[in-house]
Structure 1
Amino acid sequence: MSNPKKWVESITAHTYGTWRPQRDWKKPLFIAGAERVYFFDETGRRYLDFSSQLMCSNLGHGNKKIIDAICEQAKKLPYVAPGFV
């Protein structure tokens, strides 16, 4: 991202921030990347991801085996509606 500050300003102006009252969503943390149990902001500062990004990343970030499995599945069938099995 060439200008994280502008991007964050746009996101706060046009996006609904989850899990918080909107009036308190003044300065969201700009996440530029993640690896294992950490994520990083645009300055490279490292944060321990205690919440597993809302509990959906319990196996960590950037796990090559998981990424490869997702890519293989996406080649076969990326999505099917809930009414099908």
Structure 2
Amino acid sequence: MNSLECVWVAVNIRLLITSELLVGCTDCISVLPAEPQVQIGTHTFTYDYVYGSSALSSSSVYNDCVAPLVDALFHGYNATVLAYGQF
């Protein structure tokens, strides 16, 4: 990650929940292996971090995305974390 960038975007794709699986829902988004990209149909989107629909601990997201910002705060930088959706 380039420390000069102003905005980082991370995407976490949650697992389907039991009720979704019971009615036959499937993932409509796929993660491209070894790339911070997701594919929806024929469209591909690139982000700074992509966490696929696997059993991911919240500490991984924190360590990758939030911890560097907390450290930067103590060095006089401003930082904001906006989290939307379910984890």
Structure 1-normalised TM-score? 0.24
Structure 2-normalised TM-score? 0.24
Structure holding more helix per residue: 1
Structure holding more strand per residue: 2
Structure possessing the higher radius of gyration over alpha carbons: 1
Ranked by relative contact order (alpha carbons within 8 Å, sequence separation 6 or more), the top structure is 2
